[in-house]
Amino acid sequence: MYDWLLFLHVTAAFALVATVVVFSAFALGAQAESRVLTVASVLWAVGGLGTLVFGIWLAIYVKGYQVWDGWIIAAIVLWAAATELGRRAEVGFRGREGTTVAQAAMWHWLRSAVVLALLVIMVYKPGA
């Protein structure tokens, strides 16, 4: 069971990183086509839900971890922050709410930094 949970959690994390890669292309000047933005957003939604569900399931399943461990709470907070930053970036790349592409790129790069911090926490598990 542990192997499957970990596999699904990491696979979902790959979907999140794939979204960051797609948005990086937009931030670096690629044309932000609506279909590609939609695919990236679906990847984030599926990956985000997967990492959250399977991550919490792993925390419950694995002895020695608790959902209220500091590094798990930090990961959940960073996940929520990355989701909001990505939402703001998407709005900008779609040209909505008066947001410019430069602002969208800023939101994206902030999300990239948060996702990197999230990956560091997942690898090193500070305090565990």
Residue 35's pLDDT is what?
95
Report percent pLDDT > 70 for the chain. Answer: 100
Instruction: Give the pLDDT confidence of 70-120 residue by residue, as tens digits.
Output: 999 999 999 999 999 999 999 999 988 888 899 999 999 999 999 999 999
Q: State the distance between the two ends of the chain, measured CA to CA, in whole angstroms.
A: 21
On average, the pLDDT of the chain sits at: 94
What angle separates helix 2-27 from helix 34-61, to the nearest 10 degrees?
Answer: 150
